[in-house]
Amino acid sequence: KAQVRLCQRYRRLAATGKPQPKVTTAIARELVGYAWDIARRVSPAIAG
């Protein structure tokens, strides 16, 4: 699901004429947020 959403967002941002570094940064930021959310959910299970 996340990959499809990120690919769609990438294409949409690129199609609007945004500069490539800005598009890449936006996608990377969203991907980091996704990874952080997964780590946050898993971390209490490991600690406890």
Distance CA 26, CA 40 (A): 21
Would you state the pLDDT for residue 47? 62
**Domain boundaries defined on the chain:** 2-47
Full-model pTM: 0.76
5 or 43, greater pLDDT: 5
Distance CA 43, CA 28 (A): 22
Give residue-wise pLDDT tens across range 3-37: 999 999 999 999 999 999 999 999 999 999 999 99
Closest C-alpha among 11, 10, 1 to residue 37: 1
* Per-residue CA distances from 24 to 2, 11, 21 (Å): 16, 11, 5
Amino acid at 31: L
13 neighbors 23 (Cβ within 8 angstroms)? yes
| pLDDT band at residue 2 under the 50/70/90 scheme | confident
